[in-house]
Amino acid sequence: MLKKIYRVLRTTIKGFTQKNNIDISFKTDFDHFNSIDNQKKLSCNWEDIYPCLSDNTKTTNFDAHYIYHPAWAARIVKQINPEKHIDISSTLHFCSILSAFVPVEFYDFRPAHLNLSELTSGQADLTKLPFETNSIESISCMHTVEHIGLGRYGDPIDPDGDVKAINELKRVVKPTGNLLFVVPVGRPRIAFNAHRIYAPNMIIDLFEGFKLENFSLVTDSNDFIDNATLEEGEKQNYGCGCFWFIKI
| Mean pLDDT computed over 23-42 | 89
Who wins on pLDDT, 10 or 218? 218
CA distance to 114, 120, 165, per residue, from 240 (Å):
27, 27, 19
pLDDT of residue 27: 86
Rounded distance, CA 225 to CA 206, Å?
23
pLDDT tens readout for residues 76-116: 999 999 999 999 999 999 999 999 999 999 999 999 999 99
pLDDT of residue 15: 56
Who wins on pLDDT, 28 or 176? 176
CA distance to 11, 69, 94, 106, per residue, from 199 (Å):
46, 18, 25, 28
Using the predicted structure, report yes or no on whether residue 23 has a pLDDT greater than 50: no
pLDDT of residue 26: 86
Percent pLDDT > 70 in the chain is: 90
pLDDT tens readout for residues 168-210: 999 999 999 999 999 999 999 999 999 999 999 999 999 999 9
pLDDT tens readout for residues 134-164: 999 999 999 999 999 999 999 999 999 999 9
> Residue 5: in which H helix or E strand, if any?
helix 2-19
Using the predicted structure, report yes or no on whether residue 52 has a pLDDT greater than 60: yes
Rounded distance, CA 200 to CA 227, Å?
13
Using the predicted structure, report yes or no on whether residue 213 has a pLDDT greater than 60: yes
The whole-chain average pLDDT of the chain stands at: 93
| Mean pLDDT computed over 1-14 | 57
Q: Going from the N-terminus, what domains does the chain have, and what CATH number goes with each?
A: 2-48 (no CATH), 64-247 (3.40.50.150)
Cβ–Cβ < 8 Å for 180, 75: no
10 Å Cβ neighbour count for 2? 8
pLDDT of residue 137: 98
Using the predicted structure, report yes or no on whether residue 119 has a pLDDT greater than 80: yes
Q: Is the pTM of this model over 0.85?
A: yes
pLDDT of residue 21: 41
Rounded distance, CA 18 to CA 16, Å?
5
Please report the sign of the dihedral spanned by the C-alpha atoms of residue 80, residue 166, residue 100, residue 137: positive
Packing angle, helices 2-19 and 26-36, rounded to 10: 120
